[in-house]
Amino acid sequence: MTVPDEPDSSGTSAADATAPGTVQARFGRFWRGWEEQLGQEHPAPDFTPGSGDFRISARAVTAHDAVIADVRSESLTGTHTNSLHQGDEQVVMHVIRHNAWRFARPREGDHTVPAGHFMLQRNGPPTFEEARRTTATVLLLPASPLSHLIRDRLITGPTSSAEVRLLLGHLNLVDQTAQDLTGTGALAARNALLALVEGVLRQQADGTEPHLGPALAQAAKDLADSRLADPDLSPSMLARELSVSVRTLHRAFAAVEESVAGYIRRRRLEQARLELLTPVGRPSVAELAAHWQFADSSHFIRAFKSRYGRTPAEFARTATRPGGSPAQ
CA–CA distance, 8 with 182 (Å, rounded to integer): 7
Q: How many CB atoms lie within 10 A of CB 1?
A: 24
Name, in order, each residue with C-beta under 8 angstroms of 24's C-beta and a sequence gap of 6 or more: 49
User: How confident is the model at residue 307, as a pLDDT?
Assistant: 94
CA–CA distance, 140 with 154 (Å, rounded to integer): 15
Sign of CA dihedral 25, 20, 135, 179: positive
Q: How many CB atoms lie within 10 A of CB 96?
A: 24
Sign of CA dihedral 91, 124, 89, 42: negative
- The list of the chain residues with pLDDT below 50 reads 1-9, 83-86, 323-328
CA R_g for the chain: 23
Which is nearest to 128 in space by CA: 151, 148, 108? 108
pTM: 0.70
Name, in order, each residue with C-beta under 8 angstroms of 45's C-beta and a sequence gap of 6 or more: 1, 80, 90, 92, 123, 140
User: How confident is the model at residue 4, as a pLDDT?
Assistant: 36
**How do residues 211-235 score in pLDDT, each as one tens digit?**
677 888 888 999 999 999 999 999 9
312-320 vs 297-308: helix crossing angle, rounded to 10: 60
User: How confident is the model at residue 5, as a pLDDT?
Assistant: 37
Check: CB of residue 112 under 8 Å from CB of residue 129.
no
User: How confident is the model at residue 206, as a pLDDT?
Assistant: 54
Pairing mode of beta strands 117-122, 90-98: antiparallel
Sign of CA dihedral 310, 314, 315, 321: negative
User: How confident is the model at residue 145, as a pLDDT?
Assistant: 85
CA–CA distance, 154 with 69 (Å, rounded to integer): 20
User: How confident is the model at residue 301, as a pLDDT?
Assistant: 95
User: How confident is the model at residue 107, as a pLDDT?
Assistant: 75
Query: For 55, phi and psi rounded to 5 degrees?
Result: -130, 95
CA–CA distance, 47 with 31 (Å, rounded to integer): 10
